[in-house]
Amino acid sequence: MKSFQSLALIPLLILACNQEASIDLREYDVDALQDAMQSGELRSQDIVGHYLAEIARIDRAGPELRSIIEINPDAMQIAASLDEERTASGPRGPLHGIPVVIKANIDTGDRMHTTAGSLALATHRAPDDAFLVSRLRDAGAVILGKANLSEWANFRSARSSSGWSSIGGQTKNPYDPRRNPCGSSSGSAVSVAANLTALAIGTETDGSIVCPAGINGVVGIKPSLGLVSRDGIIPIAHSQDTAGPLARSVADAAILLTAISTADPSDPATASRPDGVVDYSAELSANALQGKRIGVLRSYWGAGDDPKAEAVFDQAIEAIRAAGAEIVDPIELDVSDMWDAEDEVLNYEFKADLDAYLQDSGAPVKSLEDVIRFNSENAAAVMPFFGQEIMEAAQQKGPLSEDEYLYALAESKRISQTVIDTALNANSLDAIIAPANSPAWLTDHINGDTTFGLSSSSYAAVSGYPSVTVPAGFVQGLPIGISFIAGAYSDKQLIDLAYAFEQASKARRAPEDL
């Protein structure tokens, strides 16, 4: 299996090692990069070359963060073409020439692979771009590479180590490489946090954007279900899956969301989205919290178990109050009956949705059953640390017409949406806030993520409602995030509130010693 494992890394090693770190773009945002390109100080080729050099220096050497599985072998050529276009006719928009890393479970119809980190898909090239990737290319973005992730988006084993895949190895936290980056969008968050790219795309079913954003000190947007097309994403569950931005600032994440949140006729979920095109980065104001009513969620997973993280959360509440918001504390959301229903839904949909993706995409394996068999036959390489009992449980499920599935889906949506809507309406709230994460735990390939701490992601994940996660502070040098949650398609409102909090707190701090 060694040849499979090294296959996707060859372009990264060849390209990145030929670059020189001649410029320092640490913490540059999209506006700064555009200003530098417009003035002639930099070209897109310079920016791409810089990030390739940093990936070689940090991701494959130095602390060896392993956030990138594969570099786009055409990245420099694409950047050169976009530089020529800028000279001839000006930029297409704010993403023109800007590098973006894509999670490795998202299709790109180019020379890169789409693997979900699994050796079973090591040779898989998608026939075309995911809809969101085509939107990024149209906006002028440079698809820099594919990000490492928790294999199969962390839907393989309850004893997994987040950020580990059989192709990419273990992604490491840039604030302490001994610690975990959370997942499953581990590489997407780490690459942004460590300044290896300007922007990244992750995906979430439940917590896979929120947790890595919080733990790696970046901004993550989990959009409303249907705001971003699910086309071309290796699925877990269509009733919860969505892609979303990861960035070092709310403004940058909003620019990225604007580019990818276009209605897709092939995805029925996008049919329910509001009409019109929204610029999520428009009219961001540091005063957006003034006069708003913000509810404080105290009934999240692991509540009361991490006093240090909750102290950071309390400080964030005071910053929101000082920014002019009225605080309603506490808000209780009782979803005790939701967890079992969600598990049932995910198992049913994973089997059905993955089988459909594999059969339609020309993958070398055609079903979940094939994946399970491949993993068993190649256990030494694929399962050295944890097994595949979640996959095996999903394989036992029947079709989506079964009453058990239909009941669980209805219950999970009813419970999650009702408790959020009721809390918002009864208290006249503009948003609900909750801590996104505990400090990163030590990576443990023997016991897995057994010391995983608090989480508040499930409320928005199961309901299909949006959440925006922003850096809030640190516990002994490890980032803590805060999440803003509200009702369906309130994405712009949450971005505005999160931006105001970001400006009030200024909590983002780059990792040291990289």
Q: Which residues are designated catalytic?
A: 103, 184, 208
The CA–CA distances, whole Å, from 235 to 29, 208, 270, 316, 432 equal: 31, 13, 16, 34, 28
Say if residue 305 is exposed, middle or buried (CB neighbours under 10 Å; 0-12, 13-18, 19+): exposed
DSSP letter at 147 equals: E
CA distance 161 to 378: 19
The CA–CA distances, whole Å, from 149 to 114, 194, 432 equal: 12, 16, 29
Which residues are bridge partners to 219 per DSSP? 247
The CA–CA distances, whole Å, from 341 to 84, 106, 289, 337, 338 equal: 53, 27, 35, 7, 5
Closest by CA position to 350, among listed 382, 377, 388, 403: 388
Closest by CA position to 387, among listed 148, 149, 150, 160: 160
DSSP 251-274: HHHHHHHHHH----TT-GGGGGSP
Whole-angstrom Cα Rg for the chain: 21
E strand intervals along 155-310:
164-165, 169-170, 199-204, 219-222, 242-247, 293-297
**Six-digit token pair at 471?**
């850096």
